[in-house]
Structure 1
Amino acid sequence: MTEFTGKTVLITGAAGALGRALVDAFAKAGANTVVAARRNSEQIAAETAGEALGVALDVTSENAWADAVSATEARFGGVDVLINNAAYLQVGTAESIAIDEWRKVIDTNLTGALLGIRAVVPSMRSRGGGSIVNINSIAGLAAAPGLIAYSSSKWALRGLMRAAAAELAPDNIRVNAVHPGIIDTPLAYGPDGSELVPTSSFAIPRQASPDEITEFVTFVASDRASFATGAELVVDGGFTLGPIK
């Protein structure tokens, strides 16, 4: 028996670097893992240990969410844990961001999370409760000049999380957030291979590995965090402390 044996975990954005790490972590912990991504979901599920289901999911589509949850219920009976990990980032300032790009960021990062919560709640309620974890960002905690749409979406995601936590508490559904710092993924580097956000001057002067972040996400999603809802876990290597040297 492992921590998530008998539980079904649906992970969005599962084709990305952090998403793949989350899929592997929950699978190793015994979960029935639902690999939800716009592409390659079935291939990733086939490569995943244990019981895994791949579902095609555009998080901005209510119909796609309904289909994903229906497929999950047909295969595993329902959803116990939702990891809202899908995200979209577009560089742009308040003056320069194209409105269609602004809307795409908001639709993916904020509306996508709302649609996910809305889609899984009936399933969780029927199973006596559940756990929802929103993957937020340090951009939702501090100023992020040049990332006006992404930062706005992540700040708003904090409000969504707290309101949902209060609304769903009577149903024994916990809603929490993890705020990762800079993760060693392709998104952390510019075209020339340099770090977009240099980490050498911060308290822990390096990027996090995706596997390090999954340790915190699995904790928050698990019964070990049963007394936490509406909470935010900051895992940023001291980024929000500011430069220390």
Structure 2
Amino acid sequence: MPPLTGRVILVTGAARGQGEQEARLFVAEGARVVLTDVLDERGKAVAEELGADSALYVHLDVGEEGDWAAAVAAAKERFGKLDGLVNNAGILRLNELAGTPREEFLDVVRVNQLGTFLGMREAAPELAAAGGGTIVNTASYVALAGMAGLTAYAATKGAVVAMTRVAALELAGRGIRVNAMCPGAIDTPMSNPALLDPAADPVRVAEGMAGFYRKLVPMGRAGRPEEVARLALFLTADDSSYVTGQQFVVDGGWLAGAPMPA
């Protein structure tokens, strides 16, 4: 029997990238998935492809309390309950500390940090009502190691790791496990915005990214979204039944140190 049979999981930022791959994998492993995003056209297309019996798309701006309430209500209305949450939605802004405008910093906080907080707060009572469940928060490699130009992003992802630990302590007695993923360089439009530029040469973009990470990452490449999705599956399924309050790095060895120069 697939490991997520009978489970209902809500995934944020599920229209593309890591969230899309998590939704696809979860459905393949037996779950019914509520895909949420602000990219409505793309999100609806993914949900339709997965099928109405297994997937539902709901618009969700993770910084809006009302959107969270509506998304959870939609999950219960369609599938009867909520067993899990994957807080995947996030944004990244590149800027040096001294040059980061207040508004830009707060935009990143609103999505990455506030969005994760609101999701956990809204989902926890429903997970408890379902007899327990799981929350998987998406942090980052830069929550654990510095990277120039990412003050706002690193600050919010560090907060995600801290909130994960506190939530795990508070929710364990209600049968809810809470863990965090810390991806390194993953080949998605967020980490490589040039992929979204219709004028960009996709081959040149791919070659440039590959060369950059070949020098930095011991495994010699960026990760793939489906590799992060498999970690999310492990943390959502019963294979990780005695795991909570932890951070899991998925970075090709980047955090371990610099590879030998070529």
Offset from partner CA, 1:67-90 (integer Å, 9 cap, x none): 000011111111101000000111
Letter of the structure 2 residue corresponding to residue 157 of structure 1 = V
Give the 3-state SS of the residue equivalent to 2:9 in structure 1: strand
Aligned residue pairs: how many? 245
1:243 counterpart residue number: 258
Partner of 1:104 in structure 2?
107
1:141-160 → structure 2 map (5 Å cutoff): 141-160=144-163
Q: Normalized against structure 1, the TM-score is what?
A: 0.96
Would you say the 8 A contact 1:188–1:196 is kept in 2? no
Partners of 1:18 and 1:210 within 8 A in 2: yes
Q: Is 1:224 the equivalent of 2:243?
A: no
Deviation of the 1:42 alpha carbon: 2.5
Q: For 1:158, what is the secondary structure of its paired residue?
A: helix
Question: 1:168–1:174: 8 Å Cα contact kept in structure 2?
Answer: yes
2:76 aligned partner, one-letter code: E
Please tell me the root mean square deviation across aligned C-alpha atoms, in Å.
Answer: 1.5
Aligned to 1:134: 137
Return the structure number with greater helix share: 2
Q: 1:214 to 1:27 in 2, by over 3 A?
A: same
Partner of 2:50: 48
Secondary structure in 2 matching 1:195? helix
The Cα offsets for residues 81-116 of structure 1, whole Å up to 9 and x where unpaired, read as 100000011111221111111001001001100100
Alignment correspondent of 2:23 = 23
Alpha carbons of structure 1 residues 115 and 208: separation in structure 2 relative to 1, 3 Å:
same
- Which residue matches 2:96? 93
Structure 2 unaligned regions, length at least 5: 195-199
Distance 1:106 1:197 in 2: 31
Extract unaligned runs of 5+ from structure 1: none
Counterpart residue identity of residue 83, structure 2: D
Q: TM-score, normalised by structure 2?
A: 0.90
Q: What residue number does 1:206 align with?
A: 221
Distance apart, 1:196 and its partner CA: 9.2
Cα distance change on mapping 1:126 and 1:210 into 2, 3 Å: same
Asked if residue 175 in structure 1 is aligned to residue 189 in structure 2, the reply is: no
